A and B are shown apart, each in its own frame.
Chain A
Amino acid sequence: MNNNAEQDWKRYDADMKWFERIREDVVAAAEEAGVSPRQMLKLELGFEEILVNIISYAYEDPGYVWVKTTDGDKDFRIEFADHGKQFDPLEKDRRPAEDTPLEEREPGGYGIFLVKQNFKSVEYKYEEMFGHMANHMSMLLDKG
């Protein structure tokens, strides 16, 4: 079976008004899969970072975000796809250098670093999905 079959994914408008609904869907799937409360907070960190990036920056015009969760034996996978402009968040460390003075620090760049810290693996691909080229993020989390 095609791993990216569209029926396995949920599609939402890439709009902040859907953020809470998408979060509830993901948390419900993770609870059903038996993700521990401690790991749930890590899942939420990664979820928020990636979803907010897609909603805020992927599209100039309205677009969609697709979300898929998979319950494994010991782990839980969450995937995101969008048809927005190509962007690999893993490409480089965007945090400010450690010796950057407070006054010069920009508040961005921490999010993707936190994702990498808290997930067992994080992958990015730019590939065809749902009829167009897509940014595809896949993140694996230990359940316990």
Chain B
Amino acid sequence: MDKEFSQKEYAGPNGWTVWGISGRIDMLTADAAYATGEEIILRNPKTVLDMTEMEYLSSAGLRVLLRLNKLAKKKGGEFALAGPTGIVKSVLEDSGMDALFSVWASPNEAE
């Protein structure tokens, strides 16, 4: 079974919180991903999602990102993305969602 999904969190540059997800954001993991993202953003609305180890993102995942983006803006911050590759990058680009976020190559570039 390839349902791996794990998360990590650490202090990034310039006051950003880095939240990393490894594995998949799909129908089965979207709720857990949102719950963690919401909790992190409520603590620090300046949060960047490290996607370098994310393997799969479906539209259930896009919905999570969009909701967290709105939440961060409502709290006066920003929810940014870093390091998407492969199909994760394609999904962001094909859906046009990449235009709604700051997208950096690495969370170390967070400004």
Contacts and interface: CB of A to CB of B under 8 A. Distances in A.
B105 interface: no
A91 interface: no
B94 A113 contact: yes
A108 B96 contact: no
Given A19-B28, A41-B55, A95 B87 contact: no
Contact of A20 (B28, B73, B96, B100): B28
Contacts of B86: 38, 41
A124 B40 CA distance: 42
Contact of B59 (A42, A105, A110): A110
A117 B28 contact: no
A114 B91 contact: yes
Q: When A and B form their complex, which 10 residue pairs have the shortest distance between CB atoms, in order from nearest?
A: A107-B63, A111-B59, A41-B87, A110-B59, A110-B95, A117-B94, A107-B66, A48-B58, A110-B62, A52-B27
Given A41-B55, A102-B100, 19 more contacts: A20-B3, A44-B26, A44-B58, A45-B56, A48-B26, A49-B58, A49-B59, A52-B60, A102-B66, A102-B69, A102-B73, A103-B70, A105-B66, A105-B100, A107-B66, A110-B59, A110-B63, A113-B94, A118-B94
A32 interface: no
B96 A98 contact: yes
A111 B27 contact: no
Interface of B: 1, 3, 26-28, 55-56, 58-60, 62-63, 66-67, 69-70, 73, 86-87, 91, 94-97, 99-100
A24 interface: yes
Contacts of A111: 58-59
14 contacts: A16-B27, A20-B1, A38-B87, A41-B87, A44-B56, A45-B91, A48-B59, A52-B60, A98-B96, A98-B99, A102-B100, A110-B62, A113-B94, A114-B91
Contacts of A102: 66, 69-70, 73, 100
A108 B73 CA distance: 20
Contacts of B3: 20
Contact of A107 (B27, B56, B62): B62
